[in-house]
Amino acid sequence: MTLRVELKKTMSTAILKVPSGVYFTKEDYMNSMQQWAAIPYHRRIIRPLCFASLNDQLPLVFIEDSPFSYSLEDSVKDKSFYKGFRYRFETSHKLLSCLISVIECLAHAHRNGVMHLNMHAGNVLLPKCG
């Protein structure tokens, strides 16, 4: 589950990520989040900001928010991914460009020992400007 939260001290927003508990123990989840945080900077990979837990039971991870982006899943559902294109090759070019960016990010993570085990269109963020 993810929620957008407001951070009053920094006057910004973050994404609060809470595990479902189905696939991970608390320790496994926090270890995977810390491995993610240790990946060297890549301009297209969002980063965890901080870790916490609720009642020492439920791990919480606050992640960089990108308020000027939306998921690939949402953009396909509302057809905004295809907006403004009159020809099929234009849409194909945009889709291929998006796919290359995703592959570059995954390759960067893999080179640094991190595997993304939940890759789907909802985890791919696109800029709202196109």
Q: What is the pLDDT of residues 54-112, one digit of tens each?
A: 887 788 888 888 776 788 898 889 888 878 777 777 888 888 988 999 999 999 999 99
- Using DSSP's 3-state secondary structure scheme, residue 114 falls into coil
Q: Give the amino acid at 101.
A: S
DSSP letters along 47-103, please?
-EEEEEEETTTEEEEEEE--TTEEEHHHHHHTTGGGTT--SHHHHHHHHHHHHHHHH
* Residue 107, both tokens: 């390759």
Given a contact cutoff of 8 angstroms between Cβ atoms, the answer to whether 66 and 12 are in contact is no
50 bridge partner residues: 62
Position 23 pLDDT exceeds 70: no
List the domains of the chain with CATH numbers. 1-66 (3.30.200), 68-130 (no CATH)
Mean pLDDT of the region 8-36: 80
3-state DSSP of 8-49? CCCCEEEEEECCCCCCCCHHHHHHHHHHHHCCCCCCCCCCEE
Residue 57's nearest CA partner among 25, 23, 31 is 25
1-29 exposure pattern, b = at least 16 Cβ within 10 A, e = fewer:
eeeeeeeeeeeeebbbbebeeeebeeeeb
* Band of pLDDT at residue 40, cut at 50, 70 and 90: very high
d(CA 51, CA 129): 31
Q: What is the pTM of this model?
A: 0.77
Q: What is the pLDDT of residues 117-127, one digit of tens each?
A: 888 888 888 87
Residue 110 is predicted with a pLDDT of 95
Q: What is the pLDDT of residues 24-38, one digit of tens each?
A: 778 888 888 889 899
